Structure 1
Amino acid sequence: MHSAPLPDTEAQRLAKLHSYGVLDTLPQTAFNDIVALASSICGTPVALISLIDRDRQWFKAKTGIDVEQTGRDIAFCAHAILQPQQVMVVEDARQDERFRDNPLLEGELGLRFYAGAPIVTDDGHALGTVCVIDTQPRQLSPAAEESLRILSRLVVNLLEHEKERHAEEARQREEARRARDVLMAMAVSTLDLIAYIDRDERYQAVNQTWLTYWGCDESKVIGMHVRDRVGPAVYENEIAPLIRRALSGELVRYQHLVRFHARGPRFMEISLMPDTDASGTVRGLILRSHDIHLQHEREQELKEALSALEQRTLEQQRFIQVLSHDLREPVNAVRNFSTLLTTDHLQELSAPAQRYLGFVTKGGERMSRMLDDLTDLLQLDGYTPKVVDMDTRALVSQVMEELHEAIEQSGALITTSPLDTLRADPALLRIVLFNYIGNALKFRHQDRPPQIHIETVPVDDGMELSVTDHGLGIPEDQQAGIFDMFRRLHTRQRFDGAGLGLSLCRRIAQLHGGRVTLHSTLGRGSRFGIVLPPTVPGEPA
């Protein structure tokens, strides 16, 4: 196990972290919502807001895990903060030299997959991460990676807001203790707008920042009623009820868009703090306005980013509609009319024309299969598997019936071991078996019938369903990308296909929280498998 080295600016980073006063604080809804959103977007059982302290990582918010903290020496996030501008993704921790013997890979957590977006302050210090964890190896889509970045920026905004809020409350408590000196204290320069309003709701004092925002001098303000400053309509409908609550002794806080004469419209966080005398009687109000316009704009940017994600989902659905209907119609026309020409007029055509017609027919069939595969692949995004305890032998029989013609033509010998019950979505698992067996029939030695064996085998992380053949096999240097979209090892002249089938199998495995496997030797055959966990993500354990 390799513990992460310390960042070059570790002392400054720790000072920045401690300045927020967030360590060991109670759970807060806003932070909990962020980890819930991260878990939902990335489809992982565990999500965390992890902050890296001197000797530990502490979780400000968490879902799917009960521990409050771990040692820094075993923390994945301690590695992630070393590259503040990147999302660190570990697809399979067992295959990573830094983590393969990490104790987090064992026990109840059983960590396999990790992705963490550093929480980076404006001055470049990475305090920790928004991270997601899974017990199964997997990959992270670019959209999910970008979402983690957005959520990590939101955490920084929340930390800054909490820091400002605590500072604001501390300032207000100090002012309450020094109520008798409030008019003098207001003369001190501050970024906040401060005014003192008496029980008659008239301004008795304002600070320089207040005057700067409103673009006026004291002579135009002191003694003026609040109603005359804000206007009768705004006063009666919005301000008067709040002032009455504050004059009754309640600390009132609210956010409001204020249209300043000198600064224009600004979102402000406004506090009306009662000023009481020794007997507890309210003698006036301290009005403090804090400019949160920049923070509000950042929150709006986040909302717009999330809206853009939703829009891309809708566009994808429309694309699926085009694939399923608009594109399929001309393809079907090509196939139908080429079939009619072949059936009714083939003998009337010259030899070159017959050859060209064959190209058209095969091209239409290939395009139809590609549309089927693309539609299936795209429709899996956001799909929740309908998991049941399924009869594996019955499913194998169904797929063999669908491939009956290809099996007969090739003279294939297909055998099975006793097949265990699998917990999966039957419709999706049928697609996997169809592709695995279909490939075994296709990529065979031409001088002998294919031999195919189907079995189920228990493995560490679930149950594996595999299809083994004695066919052409796959070169070792091409095995790593065999499940990528449109990946082909042979020309269409030799073997037909769009290169989408195995991508579809991998996506189906991911939807089940599982994985695909491959063992192959060039010239001797291949063994393709899908590992299904005991419990599918989103399913009650």
Structure 2
Amino acid sequence: MQVAPLPDDEEQRLAKLFSFGVLDTLPQKAFDEITTLASAICGTPIALISFVDRDRQWFKSRIGLDPSETEREVAFCSHAILRPKEVLVVEDATQDQRFHDNPLVTSDPGIRFYAGAPIVSDDGFALGTVCVIDRQPRHIDAAQQQALCALASLVVTLLKHEHSGREESERRAATMLRRNEYLTALSTSGLDLMSFVDTNYIYRYVNQTYLSYWAREPVDIVNRSVQDLLGKALFQTTKTFFDQALAGEQVDFEATIDFPGKGTRHVEVTYLPARDNDGSISGVIVRTHDIQKLKEREEQLRSTVAMLEHKTLEQERFIHIISHDLREPINTINNFASLLAEDESLGQSAMARRNLHYVQAGGRRMASLLDDLLNFLHLEEHALNLKPIDLNQIAEEVQEDLNAALQRSGGRIEVGHLPTTVGDASLLRIALQNLVANGLKFARKGVPPLVRIASKTEGDWLHIEVQDNGIGMHEHQLANIFEMFKRLHSGKEYDGTGLGLSICRRITELHHGRVSVRSDPGKGSCFSLSLPHPTTGVK
């Protein structure tokens, strides 16, 4: 197990974390809603808001996990905070050298998948993460990672709100109550609406923000009753809270208010009992904090969750249609066409045989298209099985699979020495086979195809190159060559579905790599699969 090193700014980072006063506080609904959203967005049973303390990670909110903290040295989040601008994604912890023997992997809770978006303060300190965990390997796409980052940003907003809003207001309220200076303090309370109401429900003070929201002048509010401003119905609703505060209780609640100067706003309201020096209650300090933007962001996140769920459902329906509703009639056409072609008793004319050939060719193309389309769609659900793989063995398997195509074309494949790297063997085999098959297929007339497979490394990158001596492509044709259904030639010239290169691109993207091509018309093309390549630890 690799223990994460301490960040270079560890002491400053801890000081910033401690300044928020969030550690060991009680659960709060706003934070719990964030973990609920994270779990729904990524489809994981476990979601956490984790803060990395000096010797532990502590969970402000947790779903699907009982402990409220773990030791820091086993925490995945200790690794995540080392790169504050990146989401740490571990698709299978058993295959990751940093975590494969971690107690959280080898025993309860049995972590396999982890994704953590750093919670970064405004001045750049990574305090912890919003993370999701599963007990089985999985993959999340870029949209889900972006949503995790948005949730981490929302946590920072809540921390600032809690720190500079409620806690500061309460501290200042306590100070001014003890010193009987609360009216002076109210005038410097920033953007929140502040007011003081006496025991007879009469406004004795309001700040400028209060006046702005209600679009009134001081003479319209001060020394007038709360009912005069709010109206009878709203006053009767809030009177219960006033009475609780006048009885010595602090009251917190949320409300939606239609302010004449600002429109409808969602607000957080705090009623604090104001005490004189002798301890008697002289009125209520009312703090109203505008959380409309916070609510709008929460709604945007809910909309994102709904959109992702709808997208997943539509994709599942589409896959079902392809797998069953389309494949069955295609299989029926191909089977009956084969029977007709083999039945010599029908005495078919030359035209009938030619037309039947067209039916068979079209049926094969359609079946191939359905297979390629299903392969492409299933890539989104594929959990990467990352482990050391021998690329020479992959190349040998590709040659065996394409033996029939080699014999038909009279071509050959030359394989240079390829290294061992880390990747998903089944996916990289599909990508390599697609590129080699294209090299054999797009051959020049009268020229036996030759495909060379080689590799080179540049720093932390491995480039697997597949070069052919085929027809090549013009420069203007290269820009969109990896798009779905992009074909440069008609089906009469060359068979194909236009999905092979799209599948190659997606496979390299799943490996956090890229695919590129260079080509000369009439001379051939060279495709390059560029993958992150570990320089150590691969044997």
> Fold conserved (TM > 0.5)?
yes
C-alpha deviation, 1:291, in angstroms: 2.6
Question: What residue number does 2:206 align with?
Answer: 206
Report the Cα distance in structure 2 between the residues aligned to 1:187 and 1:480, rounded to whole angstroms: 63
Q: 1:52 to 1:218 in 2, by over 3 A?
A: same
The residue that corresponds to 2:78 in the other structure is 78
> Could you tell me how far apart the structure 1 residues matched to 2:323 and 2:159 are?
47
Equivalence for 1:360: 362
* Distance in 2 separating the partners of 1:97 and 1:379: 25
Change (3 A) 1:25 1:242: closer
Cα separation, 1, equivalents of 2:187 and 2:245:
23
CA contact (8 A) 2:266 2:291 kept: yes
Question: Are residues 1:483 and 2:485 paired?
Answer: no
Percent identity over the alignment is 44
| Partner Cα separation in structure 1 for residue 82 and residue 374 of structure 2 | 44
Report deviation, 1:101.
Answer: 5.8
2:79 counterpart SS class:
helix
CA contact (8 A) 2:256 2:267 kept: yes
Q: Counterpart in 1 of 2:297?
A: 298
**In the alignment, residue 308 of structure 1 is paired with which amino acid?**
M
Contact 2:195 2:206 in 1 (8 A): yes
TM-score with structure 1 setting the length: 0.61
Tell me, in whole angstroms, the C-alpha distance in 1 between the residues paired with 2:332 and 2:93: 50
| Structure-2 residue corresponding to 1:169 | 170
Q: Give the TM-score taking structure 2 as reference length.
A: 0.61
Once the two structures are TM-superposed, the CA of residue 140 in structure 1 deviates from its matched residue by: 3.6
The answer as to whether partners of 2:37 and 2:301 remain within 8 angstroms in 1 is: no
Quickly say closer, same or farther: Cα 1:374–1:92, change in 2 above 3 A: closer
Does the CA-based 8 Å contact 1:113-1:136 persist in structure 2? yes
Match of 1:156 in 2: 156
Contact 2:112 2:137 in 1 (8 A): yes
Q: Residue 194 and residue 125 in structure 1: after superposition, are their counterparts in 2 closer, same or farther (change >3 A)?
A: same
Letter in 1 for 2:433: L
Q: Which moved more, 1:210-219 or 1:290-299?
A: 210-219
Once the two structures are TM-superposed, the CA of residue 299 in structure 1 deviates from its matched residue by 2.1
Deviation at 1:17, TM superposition (A): 0.8
Q: Distance in 1 between matches of 2:47 and 2:280?
A: 49
- SS in structure 2 opposite 1:347? coil
Cα separation, 2, equivalents of 1:485 and 1:216: 72
More deviation in 167-176 or 475-484? 475-484
Q: Deviation of residue 227 (structure 1)? A: 2.6
Q: Equivalent residue of 2:348, what SS?
A: helix
Whether 1:256 aligns to 2:255 is yes
Q: Is the 8 A contact 2:178 2:277 kept in 1?
A: no
Structure 2 equivalent of residue 197 of structure 1: 197
Q: CA deviation at 1:116?
A: 1.6
2:359 partner amino acid:
L
Over residues 34-78 of structure 1, what are the superposed CA-to-partner deviations in whole Å (9 max), with x where a residue is unaligned? Answer: 446545654556543322223443333445555554444443322
Structure 2 portions without partners, runs of 5+: 383-396, 405-417, 442-494, 504-539
Equivalent residues, number: 413
What SS does structure 2 have at the residue aligned with 1:149?
helix
Cα pair distance change 1:272/1:40, threshold 3 Å: closer
Check conservation: 1:253, 1:272, Cα contact below 8 A.
yes
- The CA distance in 2 between the partners of 1:445 and 1:332, in whole Å, is 25
Structure 1 unpaired stretches of 5+:
382-438, 447-474, 504-541
Give distance in 2, aligned partners of 1:151 and 1:363: 46
In 2, Cα distance between the equivalents of 1:107 and 1:318? 37
* Residues 327-374 of structure 1, C-alpha deviations (whole Å, 9 max, x = no match): 569857965885797579771234644433331232344456567778
1:170-319 aligned at under 5 Å gives the runs 170-178=171-179, 180-188=180-188, 190-236=190-236, 238-247=237-246, 249-276=248-275, 282-319=281-318
Instruction: Write the deviation string for residues 84-127 of structure 1: whole angstroms up to 9, x where unpaired.
Output: 22111233445544445656554545555432211122333211
What residue in structure 2 maps to residue 427 of structure 1? none
Q: Does the 8 Å CA contact 2:51/2:127 hold for their aligned counterparts? A: yes
Relative distance call for 1:327 and 1:168 in structure 2 (3 A) is farther
Shift in CA distance, 122/366, structure 1 to aligned 2, threshold 3 Å = same
Measured in 2, the distance between the counterparts of 1:198 and 1:62 equals 42
Q: What is the deviation of 1:18?
A: 0.8
CA distance in 1, matches of 2:129, 2:202: 49
Which whole-Å CA distance do the structure 2 matches of 1:346 and 1:483 have between them?
Answer: 47
1 CA distance for matches of 2:357 and 2:254?
75
Q: Which residue identity does 1:285 align to in structure 2?
A: V
